[in-house]
Amino acid sequence: MNCYIETASTSLECIENCVRSNEEGAIVNLSPDFLIRSDIADKDNAFPSFDFINQLPPRDEQKGFENIEEMLDFYKNYKDISELWTIVKKGWTLTNSGNLDLAQKTFSKYRPQNFDGEPKLNYVLFDFCSRICNPERHSIFEGMGDEASTAKIDHPETYTKFIDYISNEISYEHMDRYLNTFKDYFSCYSDFSQTLMYSQNNINIPADFKATSANFSKTKQFYGNAFENITSNLTTIACINNINSGREYDQFEKMDIKQYKKINKANKINPLKSNPAFNQIEQCLKSDIRNASHHAWIKYRSGIVEYKSGGTGKLNKLPYPEYLYLCNEILIYTASLLKLDLAVTFNEPN
């Protein structure tokens, strides 16, 4: 099918091994990147994207396109988040291997709308993570960023020591975990994309909606691995919380930084629970699902994810769209935490 935006028309063209049929074909789903209502899942001409649009909260009127030429120019260069990831991943990998010239050449191809940063890893990654959080989840980073600013202003000497520690001691391992999470996520984007916009707009999944793509063999390990990575990377905000509590960056109320890094992953959020800007991350941390994933007791049956924490105890059930939503939630919090790591070390070499 050829689509002509200028005239809002289409034409059909038979290609090799294709013959025109006189029988009517059934078009089941015209919006495969969205969840679909159960009552229209098997009906022709279903547009699940329309249902999603109707769930969006009202917003102030925003400026649209002035004319058809402006719209065509926008979509001519438009790339969705998965297409941008192809560029980001290649440039990120080249940067890690020390091929900075090739990395810069790759990043120069990263040209989404409203991005005018330099073709370097920190600029591109910060923008990419912001797009993951568009349009309604920027407050996660903003709250954490305010805490970092307070620490920098009120405790400059301790904050300087903290930046030195982050840059020289843990930055590499943090970035490696972020990269692994993003790689895992985009390896099965066709499943995760079905609920990404719900997470980005902070909308709960309707109970009567289902996923049309269910590649659980690829998605079942994502949440557990992402849980491990994000909890291991809580060190940055833990140090900031220590500073704003009047302590050295590496001193907690009942332990030091070395002890903190060794405690159970699920308990790493505990020292942050009194700080609303940081404890919000706990919303995406479900240790029972993480345990089930790591002990290989998480299964998919007819649209339902079944799991037991550690392979024992009560059998829990979660609709697959809810599982995908949780995976997108942990990705958005991961992207927000990565933005913070980039921001606090922004003046440091890549």
Query: Residue 61's pLDDT is what?
Result: 46
pTM equals: 0.85
Decide if 42 is inside a domain.
Answer: no
- Bridge partners, residue 317, by sequence: 306
**Domain edge (last residue) among 105, 133, 161:** 133
Domain count of the fold of the chain? 2
**Structural domain of 289:** 139-344
- Boundary of a domain, candidates 71, 98, 133: 133
- pLDDT given at position 115: 94
Q: Which two tokens stand for residue 173?
A: 């391992």
pLDDT score recorded for residue 350: 42
Neighbour tally for 271: CB within 10 Å: 22
Same domain, 176 and 268: yes
- pLDDT given at position 312: 72
Claim to verify: residue 120 and residue 145 sit in the same structural domain: no
Residue 145 to residues 141, 214, 261, Cα–Cα distance (Å): 6, 36, 22
71 domain residue, yes or no: no
Instruction: Let me know whether 337 and 207 are in one domain.
Output: yes
Pair 300, 218 in one domain? yes
Residue 327 in any domain: the answer is: yes
3-state DSSP call for residue 319? strand
Domain co-membership, 223 together with 281: yes
- Residue 81, judged by CB atoms within 10 A of its CB (0-12, 13-18, 19+), counts as middle
Model pLDDT, residue 18: 76
The last residue of a domain, from among 72, 106, 133? 133
CA 265 to chain centre: 20
- Same structural domain, 229 and 118: no
Q: Both 209 and 243 in a single domain?
A: yes
Which residues, given as ranges, of the chain have pLDDT below 70?
A: 5-6, 8, 24-33, 36-78, 310-311, 347-350
Cα distances from 49 to residues 35, 44, 80, 105, 194, in angstroms, run: 8, 14, 16, 36, 10
pLDDT at 41: 59
Residue 340 is inside which H or E element, if any? helix 320-344
Closest-CA residue to 163 (of 239, 60, 267): 239
Number of C-beta neighbours around residue 349 at 10 A: 6
Instruction: Answer yes or no: do 244 and 270 share one domain.
Output: yes
Predicted confidence (pLDDT) per residue in 117-173, tens digit: 999 999 999 999 999 999 999 999 999 999 999 999 999 999 999 999 999 999 999
